């Protein structure tokens, strides 16, 4: 029967094309898997995923350690003297120029010191006053308050 032969031929041709398409897809998949596993110790997808999970756990431990260190450094940095304000002034009319100065050195909590240097022709004096939360238990001069204000304005 000639009609059966042509149907058989068509089925064989379609089967052959499907076989070639399937073979091409399998080869491409095999190449992609080889590329995926290249450079790794794992020989299969399960091993590769296990390696990734192990690496992720190690990164998580490292990240927590780094986070703890950053928190510690943030606390130390807040207590370090980072804010400075300087005011030069002339306390006496007989001395020329602004030879005297008030310097405030504060941390993030506005704790620290204010140093004042008073210059006159006959003598120079230096005073130090502790500062807690921007104030002192000792009387502050206007220049000392201005130095504290300059130091605290730099906080951002």
Domain ranges in the chain? 2-77, 83-153
| E-state strands within 38-140 | 83-89, 100-106, 112-119, 124-131
Distances (CA, A) of 131 to 100, 116, 138, 156: 20, 13, 9, 20
**Would you say residue 34 has pLDDT above 80?**
no
- What is the model's pTM? 0.56
pLDDT digits 0-9 by tens, 44-79: 777 778 888 999 999 999 999 999 999 898 888 878
Helix axes 2-37, 45-78, angle to 10 degrees: 30
pLDDT digits 0-9 by tens, 77-104: 878 888 999 999 988 776 667 889 999 9
């Amino acid at each position: 029967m000639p009609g059966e032969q042509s149907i058989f031929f068509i089925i064989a041709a379609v089967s052959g094309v499907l076989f070639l398409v399937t073979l091409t897809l399998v080869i491409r998949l095999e190449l992609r898997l080889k590329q995926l596993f290249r450079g790794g110790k794992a020989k299969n997808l399960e091993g590769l995923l296990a390696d990734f999970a192990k690496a992720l756990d190690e990164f998580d431990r490292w990240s927590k350690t780094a986070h703890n260190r950053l928190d510690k450094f943030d606390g130390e940095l807040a207590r370090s003297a980072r804010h400075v304000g300087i005011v030069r002034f002339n306390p006496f009319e007989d001395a020329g120029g602004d030879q005297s100065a008030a310097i405030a050195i504060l941390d993030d909590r506005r704790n620290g010191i204010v140093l004042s240097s008073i210059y006159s022709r006959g003598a120079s004096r230096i005073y130090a006053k502790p500062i807690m939360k921007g104030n002192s238990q000792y009387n502050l001069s206007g220049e000392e308050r201005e130095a504290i204000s300059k130091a605290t304005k730099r906080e951002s």
